[in-house]
Amino acid sequence: YITHIVKCRPADDRAPRSQELAACNALLQRQIALVQPKILIAVGRVAAHALLQSKAPLAELMGVVHQHAGVPLIAMYHPAYLLRSLTDKPKVWQDMQRALTLFEK
């Protein structure tokens, strides 16, 4: 199951503002509760910051299994970023392997 942090795309392809994140949060939390995922993967800085309520750099949030509402959460770079930064692909591959291990438990 894949969903977005905000349910409508902000104008000019900008990052969502805090008010937009807040407006969509109740629906997002309800989706998570209904789906009951085994693991959450926060793809990109905005998703990681919103779900973890953190402002830490994404690189610091990666490589660690976090928790969100009692569900393991892994933060990783967004695929669009990886298209521009090939050297970071191995980090995401490690996180994907970590996610698969958690999923298979």
Average confidence (pLDDT) over 1-8: 88
Of the chain, the percentage scoring pLDDT greater than 90 comes to: 88
| C-alpha to C-alpha distance for 30 and 3, rounded to whole angstroms | 12
User: Three-state DSSP class for 30?
Assistant: helix
Q: How far is C-alpha 57 from the geometric centre of its chain's CA atoms?
A: 13
Q: How far is C-alpha 33 from the geometric centre of its chain's CA atoms?
A: 16
Please calculate the CA angle 104-101-83 and round it to the nearest 5 degrees: 120
pLDDT digits (tens, 9 = 90+) for 32-71: 999 999 999 999 999 999 999 999 999 999 999 999 999 9
Contacts of residue 2, defined as CB under 8 A and 6 or more positions apart, other chains included, come to none
CB 39 within 8 A of CB 73: yes
Residue bearing the bigger pLDDT, 9 or 76:
76
Quote the pTM value. 0.89
Mean pLDDT rounded to a whole number for the chain: 94
Residue type, 87: T
Residue 1 has pLDDT above 80, yes or no: no
Q: How confident is the model at residue 86 (pLDDT cuts 50, 70, 90)?
A: very high
